[in-house]
Amino acid sequence: MSKPLAGHHVAVLLGGLSPEREVSLVSGAACAGALENLGAKVSRIDAGRDIAAVLTRLAPDVCFNALHGAWGEDGCVQGVLETLQIPYTHCGVLASALAMDKTKAKAVMSAAGVAVPGGGLFNRFEAARRHVMAPPYVVKPNSEGSSVGVFLVFEGANAPPQELASPSWGLGDEVLIEPYVAGSELAVGVMDGKAMTVTEIIPRTGFYDYEAKYGEGGSRHVLPARLPPEVFEQAKRYAELAHAALGCRGVTRSDLRYDDIKKVLVLLEVNTQPGMTPTSLVPEQAAHLGIGFDQLVLWITEDAYARGGAGGRAQRRPGPEQKLRQSN
């Protein structure tokens, strides 16, 4: 096997400080293994508050950012990497911060022509006292991912989620509340600005929560999604529009819902650092297009080099993006 990253030092940032730490550890381990297969010297960094000092000491050629959630995915770590002038994977500071703020991201995406659910921000204590909108609705932190802290309030519910008023709630005092859209859970990966394909997700419990996303057997993925052709193409268009409107780069994943009764398709959010775990959607979509996991990790890393002024030390080669364009 060729070693396209031989001689290159890649720091993989994993773990971190967010509630998505455990998922990030799995994503980072998988990516680090792929990078080693590709010949890179890999430093695994469990990212903490001393990240700038650690990176300054290690002086890697590029950072593969496998962090998920607040601090690692919201522009904070990206700002550190910009300051240190180290090329890094995935989105830049602004796109990362914007996509992580679900309310602001929805406003930007809506202005670009992407259909999004309604709703808005509410104080968590107010949202725990009374229904701020008629059920069914969804309550979620405004700046977290992986379905952390998400509640589905069904029609006929006597009271809102009381967990919102708990002293142990550590996900911000404002929560996003939006109408629940029934129907299919969908995901679209975007690579180099082009939609990959559409996956239909069927949770074992009926709700795509944290366990359904990451637990073994928690959900079943139907690839490609069983959708009318025009809905399939619209989902891809929405993902591409959202990726561009937020200023994203590299690989992202958009989450959508499709109500086949009301014929309503909405985009819920864009993940700027999609999961790279064994059950993750983007690697699965890449494999469907003939792009192996190591090849996907290579493309993401070389994309960072190409944008990071690495002096041409790692030249991007044709391959994954060509296959992607051929599939669209």
- Token readout for 204 is 């074992």
- At 270, is the secondary structure helix, strand, or coil? strand
**Residue in 208, 214, 238, 258 annotated catalytic:** 214
Catalytic-labelled residue, pool 18, 92, 96, 253: 253
| Catalytic residue of the set 96, 146, 184, 219 | 146
Give the residue carrying structure tokens 């998400």: 150
Phi-psi region of 47 (alpha: psi -120 to 50; beta: other; left: phi over 0): beta
275 is a catalytic site residue: yes
The active-site residue, picked from 240, 269, 302, 303, is: 269
Active site residue 88: no
> Is 216 part of the annotated catalytic residue set?
no
Distant-in-sequence, close-in-space partners of 173: CB < 8 Å, separation ≥ 6: 123, 124, 125
Dihedral of alpha carbons 316, 318, 323, 328, sign: positive
Is-catalytic flag, 253?
A: yes
Which one from 15, 16, 18, 20 is the annotated catalytic residue? 20
Question: Is 50 known to be catalytic?
Answer: no
Active site residue 126: no
Q: Which of 200, 209, 255, 302 is catalytic?
A: 255
Distance, in Å, from the CA atom of 211 to the CA atom of 216, rounded to the nearest integer, reads 8
List the end-to-end C-alpha distance of the chain, in Å, as a whole number. 29
Cβ atoms 227, 66 nearer than 8 A: no
Strands 137-141 and 174-179: antiparallel
* Catalytic residue (one of 275, 284, 303, 308): 275
| Catalytic residue (one of 24, 65, 143, 271) | 271
Active-site residue numbers? 20, 146, 214, 253, 255, 269, 271, 275
